[in-house]
Chain A
């Protein structure tokens, strides 16, 4: 793995050879800014004077020191950690990036999709939409490895596990022939543009759950290629949900190849899989609030209650992009229902939370803006189970968390090994990145 040259700057680190990104200039000015802001004459509002010290620091820079006296702490900055892994890094594929990469054995569906006019395929092949327009993404498009690596380096991230963006909505492709062809094309594209001879990046294998036998073939074929480290099985619009025996060939192929299943929600998958909920929304904001956690909660529940970890005990499940606050709630509620209605889950031999501890992992973004109580994040992770938590950024999406958003809130709370695990080493093990 590459390790960037790191410059101490408010806990930030970056590769000095790639410092052309505009935000870095700002970061370098930060220390001076922090000092000077407090005495700026033009800042006259009373709350500014009162709150100036905290306001002049980024909110994520507030540190939890509540446990500092009880733990052995040496990891005082990200610089001291071995490796920072982004367990949910994205690329920004366009339909026309992928289509030419569809293999000739899928020439039939490729030709049918090419017959549509450019740009329409998001509507005609992916048959789903949203509750309203998204804010324009103001961060850079990410369609080649150079851009992606520069982006990770800017935020001091050593390795990114990639997923697509719109291709996480592959469940919304009604026709399984299109879906199978598109999964193949997407994997060829990501291999060619991002993974070839590049150890800084790896990726999930995108599959078409609509056709489990073909998905299993795709997993077996890709697993032999360097850089594919998981299986992207998106929960949005996954019908039936995770745990159903229809997907047995997929679970088996993933387990046989030692690849975790990556569950990452989508807004379009929400419309497709939860249409009555979607119809009650008036805006992208409402749909976005519901979409990721509802998709994950549904599939976490069905995977556990239907005994997926009993049937495939070596299969790891990675649940992405819902933050950490819901995990304690989900474990408690699943356990309560197990105690009340055990006959509804005959395959289980122990409480759901025990399976979650052994088989399930959760990526941290979006942590949420936790106002004046940064230690809330550390406490949530403590309750969720720190060994099962993996840092993620979600870059380049506008909901991204830099590593400090997480690290500064937990560095006073956990011991060194736990911190290293959360920020990277757990992901190294789960995705076998070594």
Chain B
């Protein structure tokens, strides 16, 4: 099943996010580097509204193996309850790879964003 959820011009800026409801499920659609991703709005930690948090880049260790480096590529959603972090492009928890939240396939046609279920 394919459901229309947004127009690309609503989400034209990288880092844009939109909450939608599809078949009784709350999802969020994210623009990550002009590619679109859909993630369930539900944090597996304690049930918080995951996708109502902030979409950010992430810190990593620089090539010297020591200094902080900040990657501006905004693809990490922070749960507003306890700051648990998930990569919206994969659904995986950034800090514990045994954890993940559901993601959904997204297609774009003629400026319309669809989610497949």
Chain B 7-27 per-residue mask, 1 if CB under 8 angstroms from chain A, else 0: 000000000000001011110
A-B Cβ contacts below 8 A, count: 94
B57 at the interface (CB under 8 A from A): no
A250-282 to B contact mask, C-beta < 8 Å, 1/0: 000000000000000000000000000000000
| A42 touching B116 in the complex, CB below 8 Å, given contacts A29-B42, A47-B98 | yes
CB 8 Å contact bits of A76-118 with B (1 = contact, 0 = none): 0000000000000000000000000000000000000000000
* Chain A residues near B81 (CB-CB < 8 A): 23, 138-139, 398, 400
At the interface, yes or no: B48 with Cβ under 8 Å from chain A? yes
**Contact flags A28-54 to B (C-beta < 8 A → 1, else 0):** 011011001100111101011001000
Specify which chain A residues have a CB less than 8 angstroms from the CB of B117 in the assembled complex: 40-41
A51: shortest Cβ distance to chain B, in Å?
Answer: 8
- Find A32's partner among B25, B52, B53 (CB 8 Å cutoff): B25
Closest chain A residue to B80, Cβ basis: A138
CB distance from B37 to the nearest CB of A (A): 10
Query: Which parts of A6-65 form the interface with B (CB within 8 Å)?
Result: 10, 12, 22-23, 25-27, 29-30, 32-33, 36-37, 40-43, 45, 47-48, 51, 55-61
Chain A nearest CB from B29 CB (Å) reads 13
Chain A residues closer than 8 Å to B58, beta-carbon distance: none
Give Cα A58–Cα B41 distance, bound, in whole angstroms: 13
Residue of A nearest to B41 (CB): A26
Q: Are A43 and B103 in contact (CB under 8 A)?
A: yes
A405 located at the interface, meaning its Cβ lies under 8 Å from any Cβ of chain B in the complex: yes
- Chain B, interface size: which category? 20 to 34
B26 cross-chain contacts in A, Cβ below 8 A: 25-26, 29
Q: Out of B23, B46, B101, B104, name the residue touching A59 (CB < 8 Å).
A: B46
Nearest CB of chain A from residue B77's CB, rounded to whole Å: 12
Whether B46 lies near A58 (C-beta < 8 A) is: yes
Q: Nearest residue in B to A32 (C-beta to C-beta)? A: B24
Shortest A193–chain B CB gap in Å is: 24
Chain A 115-142 per-residue mask, 1 if CB under 8 angstroms from chain B, else 0:
0000000000000000000010011000
Chain A's closest residue to B43 (CB) is A58
Q: Does A311 contact B (CB under 8 A)?
A: no
Per a CB cutoff under 8 Å, which of B25, B42, B44, B53 touches A138? Answer: B53
Give Cα distance in the complex from A415 to B83, angstroms: 34
Instruction: Give the residues from 394 to 421 in chain A that come closer than 8 angstroms, CB to CB, to chain B.
Output: 398-402, 404-405
> Which residues in B have some Cβ–Cβ distance to A below 8 Å?
21, 23-26, 40-49, 52-54, 78, 80-83, 91, 98-105, 116-117
Binding site for B on A (CB under 8 A): 10, 12, 22-23, 25-27, 29-30, 32-33, 36-37, 40-43, 45, 47-48, 51, 55-61, 135, 138-139, 369, 398-402, 404-405
Chain A to chain B: the 6 pairs with minimum beta-carbon distance, closest first: A138-B80, A58-B47, A23-B49, A26-B49, A42-B105, A32-B24
Q: List 19 A-B contacts (CB under 8 A).
A: A23-B47, A23-B48, A26-B41, A29-B42, A33-B40, A42-B102, A42-B103, A48-B102, A56-B102, A57-B44, A58-B45, A59-B44, A59-B46, A60-B45, A60-B46, A139-B80, A369-B45, A398-B81, A402-B47
